[in-house]
Amino acid sequence: MNVKQVIASAGCNRHTIILTARERDGSIETREAEPYSYRFEKGREYFYCYDVCKQGTRRFLVSSIILVEETGNTFVPRWSVEV
């Protein structure tokens, strides 16, 4: 499965994901997140999620996402899950 398929599966199952992505500064970060939505802004596609450890919303350029794994950890949605 590709990145968006894994995110869609996790959203449908209400499972968190382990997301690895390249940050703006070039570093690579891995975090557990609740998947929520995609949005296009100025011609770029962004993925929006809730970072479980940092307890806040985050957005990532879809093209910067390196790896996504669905966990077995469930979550109660804070907002509509649109992935």
Give domain status of residue 83, yes or no: no
82, part of any domain: no
What's the domain range around 52? 3-74
Centre a 10 Å sphere on the Cβ of residue 54 and count the other Cβ atoms it contains.
Answer: 11
Tens digit of pLDDT for each residue in 2-43? 999 999 999 999 999 999 999 999 999 999 999 999 999 999
Tell whether 81 is covered by a domain: no
Structure confidence at residue 1 (pLDDT): 87
- Please write the tens of the pLDDT for every residue from 56-75: 999 999 999 999 999 999 99
DSSP secondary structure string for all residues of 15-52: EEEEEEEE-TTS-EEEEEEEEEEEEEETTEEEEEEEET
> pTM here?
0.95
Instruction: Tell me the mean pLDDT in the region 37-58.
Output: 98
Give pLDDT, residue 40: 98
Structurally, the chain folds into a number of domains equal to: 1
Q: State the pLDDT at residue 55.
A: 97
Structure tokens at 80: 């509509």
